[in-house]
Structure 1
Amino acid sequence: MKHIDKVEGAGEEFLTFTLGREEYGVDILKVQEIRGYESVTQLANAPDYIKGVINLRGKIVPIIDLRIKFRQDKVSYDQYTVVIIVDLSDRTTGIVVDGVSDVLTLAPGQIRPTPHFTSELATDYIRGLGSVDTRMLILVNIEKLLNTEELAALEALS
C-alpha cells in the first residue's frame, strides 16, 4: 500500500484496487487481508471466473477473479496480482485484482450516487462513485457483487 489520505470530518475508509484501467474501492471493514496470488485447487464445472479454492489456515476459501467476472480482455498473473480476502457475513472469499493502491478516507460529500443506466446493465453492486482530486473510484458493495447464490453453488462443488 502506498499511503493513507485523510479527509477532515467523518468519513468512510476504502481499500482501493485496480482492474485494468479502472480504480475501485471496497469498504475497509470487509477486508481481512491482502495476499499475493498463489496457485489454487480448481473445481470441475465451476464458472471460469471462479479460479478455485485455497486452504487459508484450515478454512477453505473460494477465489474469484474479478478481472474475468468483469470480462477484461487480457488477464495475466504476475508479481503485482493480489488476492484480497474479504469477509461476507459468514463467508470468507478471495477476490483476484490487478493490484492494491491504498486506503482512502472519503467524506460523505466525496461519494456520489450511482448513475442510472438501462436495465440491461447490472449496476446494483455499485454503491456509488468516489472522487478524490482527479481520481474517480467505483465504490463496490462486495456482498452484491459476489452474490450468495454463486458462492453457495461453489461450496456445493467443493
Structure 2
Amino acid sequence: MQQALEQPDVIGSEFVSFFVGDQSFCLEISQIREIRRWSPATVLPHAPDYVLGVINLRGSVIPVFDLSARLGFGKLTPDERNVIIIAAIGDQMIGMLVDSVSEILSLDPDAIQPRPNIGDEEVISYIQGFASVDDDITRLIDLEAILSPSSKLVAE
C-alpha cells in the first residue's frame, strides 16, 4: 500500500495532457509511441467491457481499451473526434481511447504531488500523482499499473 507522503516515481518532466470526458490526465511523453485518429477495433469475444478490441498497427496487433471505462467514468461512444494514444513500457504496447489530446506539459518533478489513499484501490492505483496546471489539477497515469499482470491486456 502506498503511503500518502510517498513521492511519485517520475522519470521525465514532459507529459502529454489529454481528456477523458471533462477530466484532465497526462502520460509521460517517453511512454507515448503515437497518437492516432479513432478507427474501429476488431472486437474480442468475452473481453471485459472496457476492452474495445485490437487494432493492426504496422503489422503488430495492439489491444485497445476505453480509458474512461477503465477508470470507472463510464463507456465512451467512439467517433471521429476521439483519439487513440499508443503507449509502451518496454516491449509492451497498448492503445487507450481518450476524448482528446490537449498539450505537452513541462512539469517540475517537485510540483507533482503523491496520490492520496482514497477511493477504489484498483482505480486509484492507475494514478501516479497529481499536478496543478493553471487553475486545474491533472492526474498522471501510471502506465505500469494499467499494464500490470492483473490487467494483462498488452501486446507482447
Specify if TM > 0.5. yes
Matched with 1:130 is 131
> Runs of at least 4 residues of structure 1 off by over 3 A?
none
> Aligned partners of 2:43, 2:82: CA distance in 1, in Å?
18
Corresponding residue SS for 2:121: coil
> Aligned partners of 2:137, 2:53: CA distance in 1, in Å?
31
Deviation readout 1:62-92 (Å, 9 max, x if unpaired): 0111112123246222222000000122211
> Aligned partners of 1:19, 1:114: CA distance in 2, in Å?
18
Structure 1 portions without partners, runs of 5+: 1-10
Residue 140 of structure 1 and its aligned partner are, at CA, apart by 1.0
> Aligned partners of 2:74, 2:143: CA distance in 1, in Å?
22
Deviation readout 1:95-142 (Å, 9 max, x if unpaired): 000110011000123211112226x43322211101122121001111
Structure 2 portions without partners, runs of 5+: 1-11
Provide the aligned C-alpha RMSD in A: 2.0
Deviation readout 1:21-67 (Å, 9 max, x if unpaired): 21001110000000011011111111111111111101111011111
Compare 75-84 and 93-102 and name the one that shifted more: 75-84
Corresponding residue SS for 1:72: coil
Work out the number of aligned pairs and report it: 144
> Aligned partners of 1:45, 1:15: CA distance in 2, in Å?
32
> Aligned partners of 1:112, 1:47: CA distance in 2, in Å?
31
* Contact 1:24–1:139 (CA under 8 A) maintained in structure 2: yes
Matched with 1:72 is 73
Once the two structures are aligned, what percentage of the paired residues are identical?
36
Q: Which has the larger radius of gyration?
A: 1
> Aligned partners of 2:125, 2:74: CA distance in 1, in Å?
23
Matched with 1:21 is 22
Compare 34-43 and 143-152 and name the one that shifted more: 143-152
Matched with 1:63 is 64
Matched with 1:50 is 51
* Contact 1:125–1:140 (CA under 8 A) maintained in structure 2: yes
> Aligned partners of 1:137, 1:144: CA distance in 2, in Å?
18
Structure 1 residues 110, 28: closer, same or farther in 2, change over 3 A?
same
> Aligned partners of 2:45, 2:112: CA distance in 1, in Å?
40
Corresponding residue SS for 2:79: coil
